Structure 1
């Protein structure tokens, strides 16, 4: 399986500067292996070995891996350790929480599809109509329906104009409001500008589009975005740990790992102008909610992936087919396309491989569902930065290791973690 890579984010972004004391090698770096927790069947040791090598080469202090086949959780592993705010040391558990960045998009897309399934909206509904957005700055905004919003063909291109989810200081200055800004500020600023291309004419990855989708969920359901997702999507499949993350270490959830980066930035979560570690105040987690704000463990995400295996309490077969449908622009030159919250490609077994990655300062995540009912998810508390090895290599590394598993265990670990 070849992954359709997102733009490399080697630099921390505008305004970010190196912080030599941050992102240091983990305490166990001189030892042969990181501390581990969880369960790895002997026949799947090749996956465990591959992950250990990957994190040691990149100096990653906290990581997770979960692997499943045909609805059974077969491997659940935590790697590394960290210091809690009270000074004590904790090992990473298979159930520890990580920021998952853009893996959040599958939740937001599923929420929209579920609302359509329940007759609350249509995927052809226009976003400007639902959210009462002005089209004065660009009448083409009236042509952005929910299909286009979720398939990244809505007209916003972060390669042309700066991603508004990462442009807090500029937005605050433009609107003459103090930091922190909120969703309404981001929408007001962006709606006053022209689109970067005609809706439906091409693909361009857009965090802003998914942030808008979160507001559609709230407007149509009458519930806060997080409440709707947890109640309608997660609770029916017994996933209880997942929740939205917060910006500061002092606000971290119980059992949430710390995040590491060598970069700092001016705080955007208050008007102080203080220099902060990029993962803690250099961007706003509440603003990222629907496009990249969720916390989860790898086992949670693998279980979430089971929702798309077939009709169940969350999505009907029709809804699942909508999630993986080709956009109006068709597949790209490599044969893959962006569905609703997932990258998609036909596989050699007559089905679909679906996958996504996520990246923000202090976080990298990867989740794939491939042929023969196999799925796997890896999450890390560090992402690729200038001078580090390639993080996207996790895709072929895990794919190769999966191919080396000769005997698949039958013992299901689901009851151990849920």
Structure 2
């Protein structure tokens, strides 16, 4: 494994986002599926040279019964495709419609921490306990290794928590935490932190890569402690506004923002928004969007996500060369794993052989959405967003990644137009 320990997790699970393997706070039951004829619609400007992308999205969505999808593609800095797709959708899906993006949110949180380091307001080597109160519940003690959990380790998933080994991701164990602390639901961030501060680490900090939503929850609280602002406000003002991105926001569990799509799931479960025990549709209350803000709570359009991805290009006005080198740094001592990739700061990274660059990406998944964001070594990027992650076809969702690579390779001549001005002032 080239010195890397990846905790029993394939790539798809490792960066598969906020709720992979945890369909809410408890066991979810399948809801009756409604059958309806498939009526296909597409919005945005069709581009003949890029028809392979449209065809891919259509066949992928129809096969899985996905009602809403979106795709944006850039080529060498130009926005060349921005499309919304509807499959028997009650809404017209526009290129600017908003979707939950789940763990694509991690790139924003990592960038916020790195930007604070760039501005001299913290060091990535600082322990998280310098900024966040890690006092455990009465009668419990802190694992002495918690003092070794630095900001670097939070963002590279080497803090020492392991949701695989314990089958315990605290972001999806609301009821267990509420009962242990004797507090009502909906939980607050401080509740989760207090509970987890009394739990032992499963690994020495820095020794093992294990995907941790909780680590990013903590990183969001570091942003608030340093800036004195809500996490969302800092990200909007410092990272998104300079790029002209105004639509993105932290999503809500029940209500929808203007222009936000509805979410689908065949599952139901018990609400975590209160102690009523009510059964709810899986996307609307089996997990708390408020808790997930920094690890999986953002909503965006695909156009917004590729715009955001441009902040990580060389010459970025948001992140200087030092900051970018930190984001792409190989975790030490774990290194590159046996599959040839590693987790940087908020991104999965695969060095391209021959030293010619790197491919970087992330996936996102919660009950009711699936998302993918890719940056390629040769100057392309794409974001694909969907309003469900479960289906009865048995096909799964990870196939969208190789399918979009195939669509890109099928392009024989890339267009020279640039649609950025259609979506940003």
Matched residues in 2 for 1:393 and 1:56: separation? 14
CA deviations over 1:359-418 (Å, ceiling 9, x no partner): 000010001001220001100000035653120000110011111111000100011112
Alignment of 1:296-307 (within 5 A): 296-307=300-311
Matched residues in 1 for 2:12 and 2:277: separation? 34
Question: CA shift at 1:103, angstroms?
Answer: 0.2
Matched residues in 2 for 1:166 and 1:417: separation? 36
Structure 1 pair 10–35 and aligned structure 2 pair: CA distance change class (3 A):
farther
Question: CA shift at 1:312, angstroms?
Answer: 2.9
Question: CA shift at 1:235, angstroms?
Answer: 0.3
In the alignment, structure 1 segments of 5+ residues that lack a partner are: 84-88
Residue in 2 that maps onto 1:334: 339
Matched residues in 1 for 2:88 and 2:48: separation? 27
TM-score, normalising length from structure 2?
0.92
Residue in 1 that maps onto 2:4: none
Residue in 2 that maps onto 1:86: none
Q: Which secondary structure state, in structure 2, belongs to the residue aligned with residue 174 of structure 1?
A: helix
Question: CA shift at 1:45, angstroms?
Answer: 0.2
Q: Which secondary structure state, in structure 2, belongs to the residue aligned with residue 330 of structure 1?
A: coil
Residue in 1 that maps onto 2:95: 94
Alignment of 1:155-234 (within 5 A): 155-161=160-166, 162-234=168-240
Task: Tell whether the 8 Å contact from 1:16 to 1:263 is kept in structure 2 after alignment.
Answer: no
Task: Tell whether the 8 Å contact from 2:64 to 2:392 is kept in structure 1 after alignment.
Answer: no
Residue in 1 that maps onto 2:56: 50
Task: Tell whether the 8 Å contact from 1:244 to 1:294 is kept in structure 2 after alignment.
Answer: yes
Question: CA shift at 1:271, angstroms?
Answer: 1.8
Task: Tell whether the 8 Å contact from 1:156 to 1:206 is kept in structure 2 after alignment.
Answer: yes
Task: Tell whether the 8 Å contact from 2:61 to 2:87 is kept in structure 1 after alignment.
Answer: no
Residue in 2 that maps onto 1:147: 152
Task: Tell whether the 8 Å contact from 1:245 to 1:253 is kept in structure 2 after alignment.
Answer: yes
Which one is further off, 385-394 or 62-71?
385-394
Q: Which secondary structure state, in structure 2, belongs to the residue aligned with residue 90 of structure 1?
A: coil
Matched residues in 2 for 1:279 and 1:221: separation? 31
User: Does 1:375 find its partner at 2:358?
Assistant: no
Structure 1 pair 94–294 and aligned structure 2 pair: CA distance change class (3 A):
same
In the alignment, structure 2 segments of 5+ residues that lack a partner are: 1-9
Structure 1 pair 148–386 and aligned structure 2 pair: CA distance change class (3 A):
farther
Structure 1 pair 255–330 and aligned structure 2 pair: CA distance change class (3 A):
same
Residue in 2 that maps onto 1:352: 358
Matched residues in 2 for 1:332 and 1:70: separation? 29
Question: CA shift at 1:11, angstroms?
Answer: 6.7
Cα RMSD for the two superposed structures: 1.7
Matched residues in 2 for 1:132 and 1:169: separation? 22
Residue in 2 that maps onto 1:323: 327
Matched residues in 2 for 1:166 and 1:155: separation? 18
Matched residues in 2 for 1:118 and 1:55: separation? 43
Q: Between Structure 1 and Structure 2, how many residues are aligned?
A: 404
Matched residues in 1 for 2:97 and 2:88: separation? 11
Instruction: State which of 13, 23, 29 in structure 2 corresponds to 1:12.
Output: 23
Task: Tell whether the 8 Å contact from 1:43 to 1:405 is kept in structure 2 after alignment.
Answer: yes
Q: Which secondary structure state, in structure 2, belongs to the residue aligned with residue 95 of structure 1?
A: coil
Alignment of 1:19-168 (within 5 A): 19-21=30-32, 24=34, 27-29=36-38, 31=39, 34-80=40-86, 89-134=90-135, 136-161=141-166, 162-168=168-174
Structure 1 pair 10–122 and aligned structure 2 pair: CA distance change class (3 A):
closer
Task: Tell whether the 8 Å contact from 1:102 to 1:357 is kept in structure 2 after alignment.
Answer: yes
Residue in 1 that maps onto 2:292: 288
Task: Tell whether the 8 Å contact from 2:25 to 2:286 is kept in structure 1 after alignment.
Answer: no
CA deviations over 1:158-212 (Å, ceiling 9, x no partner): 1123100000011001111111111000001111110111100010000000000
